[in-house]
Chain A
Amino acid sequence: MDDPLLIAGEAFSSRLIMGTGGAPSLDVLGRALAASGTELTTVAMRRVDPTAAGSVLELLKDRGIRVLPNTAGCFTAMEAVRVAKLAREALGTTWVKLEVIADERTLLPDPLELLTAAEQLVADDFTVLPYTNDDPVLARRLEQAGCAAVMPLGSPIGSGLGIRNPHNIELIIESAGVPVILDAGIGTASDAAIAMELGCAAVLLATSVTRARSPELMAEAMRLAVSGGRLAYLAGRVPRRKFALASSPPVE
């Protein structure tokens, strides 16, 4: 595997982590997941619906995609820890995308509850991937707490506003010793490419694919954008210049 994404010692060849929320049907979701090339995909934990037809778990199992449960909808560390434990029981994984939000309007992370939950879950041997604000200090504190990655937002969940503070994302990447995964806010392929060009280890997105006019096509666009952005990052961009630099030799 060339240039694998490494999280907690596990290698992934795809640097695109998908979410499953927002897809109009399991069939559409399945085709989008296949087109995205993702190997790690988030699910939420909710009360069982005895009338539900089909299951996202079966879909992921059939396609050999590893499941990453989230704690979406939790407002306190206590709730998030409980949901993580339920997910561990239900899905047999110690990995969790830790989400502790402050309010419904912005869905922004509550930094204090997030850090508290992260500390408790790390102490309970979870592999914690926290969805966090684009705050370099909080990212550092989460890493120090033992998180396996940090996942700063580009902009609010589902907003499609892209990366509003690329400088902060760069600051987080510069000092992080764990993978930095851009999570939330991706609107279209160029946003994903920019995240990777900034040096993010991976991109996590859902809405921009699942609610696109053609989820399958957008999933392919995201796969290519993440790969392209990663290659550009590895290749090293040229410096920005104030004036022109001729690319043809001067006339004699």
Chain B
Amino acid sequence: MEIVINGKPHEAVNGLSLAQAVALMTKAETGVAAAVNGDVIRRAVWEATPLSDGDEVEVLTAVQGG
């Protein structure tokens, strides 16, 4: 299946979890948040959140600003 992470397409195995998708982008244990198709998903349930073909994943962190 194909998913989109932070705007870029990724070929992924079926049933890839959100936790695994986030791990493709960052190894940080804290300071990271994720949304799937616009819905914010709590970190506690990332492992238990399987992704589907076409899902759009956003992985965000804090940067300098404001």
What residues of chain A have their CB less than 8 Å away from a CB belonging to chain B? 19-23, 26, 29, 42-50, 55-57, 67-70, 72, 82, 85-92, 97, 99, 206
Which B residues are in CB contact (< 8 Å) with A23? Answer: 64
- Is there contact, CB below 8 Å, between B62 and A44? yes
Of the candidate stretches B10-18, B28-36, B47-55, the one touching chain A is B28-36
Name which residue of chain B comes closest to A47, CB basis.
Answer: B6
Known contacts A55-B61, A87-B62, A90-B60; A50/B31 CB under 8 A: no
Known A-B contacts: A45-B33, A57-B31. Give 12 more (CB < 8 A). Answer: A19-B66, A43-B64, A45-B62, A47-B59, A48-B32, A48-B61, A67-B62, A68-B66, A82-B40, A86-B33, A86-B60, A91-B62
What residues of chain B have their CB less than 8 Å away from a CB belonging to chain A? 6-7, 25-26, 28, 30-35, 38, 40, 42-43, 58-66
- Is there contact, CB below 8 Å, between A44 and B6? no
Which A residues are in CB contact (< 8 Å) with B7? Answer: 47
Known contacts A20-B66, A48-B32, A97-B66; A89/B43 CB under 8 A: yes
Which 3 residue pairs spanning A and B have beta carbons closest together? Answer: A44-B65, A42-B66, A90-B33
- Is there contact, CB below 8 Å, between B42 and A45? no
Among B28, B61, B64, contact of A21 (Cβ-Cβ < 8 Å)? B64
- Is there contact, CB below 8 Å, between B66 and A44? yes
- Is there contact, CB below 8 Å, between A90 and B66? no
- Is there contact, CB below 8 Å, between A46 and B66? no
Whole-angstrom CA separation of A197 from B21 in the bound complex: 51
Do most interface residues of chain A lie in helix, strand or loop, or is the interface mixed?
Answer: mixed
- Is there contact, CB below 8 Å, between A85 and B40? yes
- Is there contact, CB below 8 Å, between A19 and B42? no
Which B residues are in CB contact (< 8 Å) with A70? Answer: 65-66
Whole-angstrom CA separation of A19 from B38 in the bound complex: 27
Question: Which of B26, B58, B64, B66 has the most C-beta atoms of chain A within 10 angstroms of its own C-beta?
Answer: B66
Known contacts A50-B25, A87-B33; A43/B62 CB under 8 A: yes
Q: How far is the CB of A94 from chain B (nearest CB, A)?
A: 14
- Is there contact, CB below 8 Å, between B65 and A90? no
Q: How far is the CB of A14 from chain B (nearest CB, A)?
A: 17
Whole-angstrom CA separation of A21 from B64 in the bound complex: 5
Which B residues are in CB contact (< 8 Å) with A85? Answer: 33, 40
Known contacts A47-B58, A50-B26; A20/B32 CB under 8 A: no
Name which residue of chain A comes closest to B27, CB basis.
Answer: A50
Contacts A/B (CB < 8 Å), 20 sampled = A19-B66, A29-B64, A43-B62, A43-B63, A44-B63, A44-B64, A46-B63, A47-B58, A48-B28, A48-B61, A50-B26, A56-B64, A67-B62, A69-B62, A85-B40, A88-B33, A89-B34, A89-B40, A90-B62, A91-B31
Q: How far is the CB of A126 from chain B (nearest CB, A)?
A: 13
Whole-angstrom CA separation of A3 from B43 in the bound complex: 39
Which B residues are in CB contact (< 8 Å) with A206? Answer: 66
